[in-house]
Structure 1
């Protein structure tokens, strides 16, 4: 009898389905959210870009499924889903990138290393937003310090309005708490540097990530690393879609026109 896997797997949602696009961008949403987090990006990107978002169990359209509480499992599932998509529907020019925000950035980083080690493929650009570099205090430290403070602090961390009824509270916070468990159990692995270009984004007033630490991500790649800082806190990009997409577009096009060596 075959044992059932401990968690459901990651799925991909094609937000644009632009088959002639030159650049494919896989997007990993932050804690507690699904692919709907990136819907505001669809209109902001030109026809050159094809947006594909990750849907993890326990949130968004998959709210009825058990949430993943292991970062390694989630990252492996994301890497497998991306690798399968690349095989079955390769990008027009073979160019693809991965973006993640907050908890999603940690998953994007871990998934990218698994893509390289398990599938022998690596994105041309990895974009990470609102996540501290591996040698710094992580999101888990902030969670550990504040989780016991209750719903109000969790709401502030997530940048949400506090739910008004118990049913909505369960729907909103169950996946967040699962991600908190995953973070508190996570140990950084000493991966070798990537060959992909890095784009690093952050908020100037982020209480969870020191904006001055973001250039340290450059040690995680043998290629170029660009850093972009914006006004605002941990979820700065919710209100600055055009600005963030503009900078990301510039970095993607630069990588597309001049691929990193190796």
Structure 2
């Protein structure tokens, strides 16, 4: 498929698979980048073409200013992914704040009358309609306090957060993404007609089993909640189980 380079900056494709029957768009967590899905491109079946989304302000797009307003991000992202949605069926997978992005992008596509995903996967993401109060903002805090709050909220090891490499390469994107997350406000809309899978982890203090199940209220189609061993970042340690769940819910043999 031929699309302008600016679109390819947003929609990466480490291993193009022209014969694939489905595209899986993956949305990274706050402070992350498209590389967290690199192994997926080779470990999932050849029938799936993995397309991780790369937001500006990180990794290959570090020189670009990050987007810090949620509405602007979703409107821009919708324009960038539209050329990729008409060739073949597709699904969305979003982890943590990436789940918020995947969910709201799906609702935006519905408003635009655009093609819809065959399934929406929301991982380690709270049921937004059941969280009336946003967590206290932390994006404005000094570096040390900011990273301490990240460790407390998400269980990220402090030794990782305090490394010089993290401060230089991850901290700017993480702060920008938290500022972006803090600009988000849930607005009620009718449930989606899209099948939805909600994944959580048994040791994740930020998203409990009930919040995983409550995502079922956001779809009128098939809903499948699942819990995996591990913490908020279980997707790095439970890949075989996660892949199996993805393939089952996508009805791949």
Note whether the superposition's TM-score is higher than 0.5: yes
**1:127 maps to 2:138:** no
SS at match of 1:14: coil
SS at match of 1:37: helix
Equivalent residue, structure 1, for 2:97: 103
Q: Residue 220 of structure 1: which of 210, 218, 222 is its match?
A: 218
Aligned residues: 242
| Residue range with higher mean Cα deviation, 201-210 or 73-82 | 73-82
Equivalent residue, structure 2, for 1:246: 244
How much does 1:189 deviate? 1.3
d(CA) in 2 for partners of 1:40 and 1:76?
Answer: 29
d(CA) in 1 for partners of 2:113 and 2:156?
Answer: 36
Residues 83 and 119 of structure 1 are in contact (CA less than 8 Å); yes or no, is this contact kept in structure 2? Answer: no
**1:152 maps to 2:151:** no
SS at match of 2:161: coil
d(CA) in 2 for partners of 1:70 and 1:162?
Answer: 25
Change (3 A) 1:210 1:18: same
Residues 25 and 52 of structure 1 are in contact (CA less than 8 Å); yes or no, is this contact kept in structure 2? Answer: yes
Residues 15 and 42 of structure 2 are in contact (CA less than 8 Å); yes or no, is this contact kept in structure 1? Answer: no
Residues 202 and 211 of structure 1 are in contact (CA less than 8 Å); yes or no, is this contact kept in structure 2? Answer: yes
Equivalent residue, structure 2, for 1:174: 172
d(CA) in 2 for partners of 1:181 and 1:175?
Answer: 10
Equivalent residue, structure 2, for 1:57: 56
d(CA) in 2 for partners of 1:139 and 1:37?
Answer: 29
Change (3 A) 1:61 1:49: same
Q: Structure 2 regions of 5+ residues with no counterpart?
A: 1-5
d(CA) in 2 for partners of 1:142 and 1:49?
Answer: 39
SS at match of 2:251: helix
**1:31 maps to 2:27:** no
How much does 1:32 deviate? 1.2
Calculate the TM-score normalised by the size of structure 1: 0.84
Q: Structure 1 regions of 5+ residues with no counterpart?
A: 1-7, 258-262
How much does 1:139 deviate? 9.7
Equivalent residue, structure 2, for 1:185: 183
